[in-house]
Structure 1
């Protein structure tokens, strides 16, 4: 928690006062309820862990925002966002399609909803990369649903912090056994593409503890 707090405070200097205020307000509410029921000591004791929980929840959300803020705009940020997915997803760490000239990228994840392609680059410009990757996927796994998420803050794009949330809302089309079967079919495509010259993918890795509030 100390590491998460320190990381968050670097980009959100007011986090200390926000947490103190949230904790005090929560305790005050419980104290008032205790006074109304003529048992303020018991209610205050109950309010302490609740106040701590409220502070942890606020810190978790602020930490997530701070972590994504650190990688925003970096090449490989979309892949870094995918790396925070939990169990049930098979994520390619390296981009599966790259435009060396523009440094547009396509990352791939496989889960029960099917294959999810996450692009990085202007919404209109990445369409050719998407078409190429869909063609490859349809060749080895023709009946598997393919979803596309265009990462970014422009029109028709999805902000980094919302990518995993969007993915979790997709309907589950495959069983876990089918996911593993498709993964084996995609093995021939899993060689990955090299990152553009001068790009260090590790620099675009967010703090996982911050993203998950741990």
Structure 2
């Protein structure tokens, strides 16, 4: 039977990204903002391996302890790379509009954040982002001197609609009383639950009536996209 020449060719297969490719990409990204990462990783790997050799010499089992220390040295280096890559990712987006929301998006469970600021100062580009979770409502402000006023105004507006719901106000930055961007997700995660899941759903519905600032947040500032896959880096 003649082959149908008009048949469309098979779609090309998607190339699978190997874990070592992810490690290399994470290393290159980290090295751009942290040039010392190469020597830090080498020192960590060699240091742990050296400890294994010393213990092996003392116990007259050098080969055994070299083989034992190799996976620990590699694991420690990969863990350190993951932490430094995360810090490098945050340093790349810090100061950009929407950086606070990008950091908050790394919270995968328990919180819902709207995709655009709920309040914004057009001239200074100060923004306020809102999230809802079992601890209540969190308002996160980023920007300069006007963000405190913007946060207080949004807090009052939210309280008028939901007077019995706890409202937590946070401001990102490096100043006194501010939360550094890398610590923002963990700060929000540590808030204690005060609402039930049903109450959270009801609060979310009520807040939809408040709307937002209708200004889209610039894309491409999500630190999770620059962050290495830790499971992939372990070869899983």
TM-score range, shorter chain: 0.7 to 0.9
Shift of residue 109, structure 1, vs aligned partner: 1.6
Q: Which residue of 2 aligns with 1:52?
A: 74
198, 202, 205: which one pairs with 2:219? 202
Partner-residue secondary structure (3-state), 2:177: coil
- Residues 114 and 146, structure 1, Cα contact 8 Å, conserved in 2: yes
Give the structure-1-normalised TM-score: 0.87
Q: Which residue of 2 aligns with 1:166?
A: 187
Q: Which residue of 2 aligns with 1:25?
A: 47
List runs of 5+ in structure 2 lacking aligned partners.
Answer: 1-22, 232-236
Give the structure-2-normalised TM-score: 0.79
| Residue 64 to residue 21, structure 1, CA distance change in 2 (3 Å) | same
- The answer as to 2:213 corresponding to 1:193 is yes
Cα separation, 2, equivalents of 1:158 and 1:66: 17
Cα separation, 1, equivalents of 2:67 and 2:226: 29
- Residues 95 and 194, structure 1, Cα contact 8 Å, conserved in 2: yes
Partner-residue secondary structure (3-state), 1:74: coil
Larger of the two Rg values belongs to structure: 2
- Residues 142 and 172, structure 2, Cα contact 8 Å, conserved in 1: yes
Alignment of 1:67-78 (within 5 A): 67-78=89-100
Shift of residue 58, structure 1, vs aligned partner: 1.0
Where in structure 1 do 4 or more consecutive aligned residues deviate above 6 Å? none
- In terms of fraction of residues, the more helix-rich structure is 1
Q: Which residue of 1 aligns with 2:153?
A: 132
- Residues 135 and 192, structure 2, Cα contact 8 Å, conserved in 1: yes
- Residues 61 and 213, structure 1, Cα contact 8 Å, conserved in 2: no
- The answer as to 2:162 corresponding to 1:157 is no
Aligned residue pair count: 209
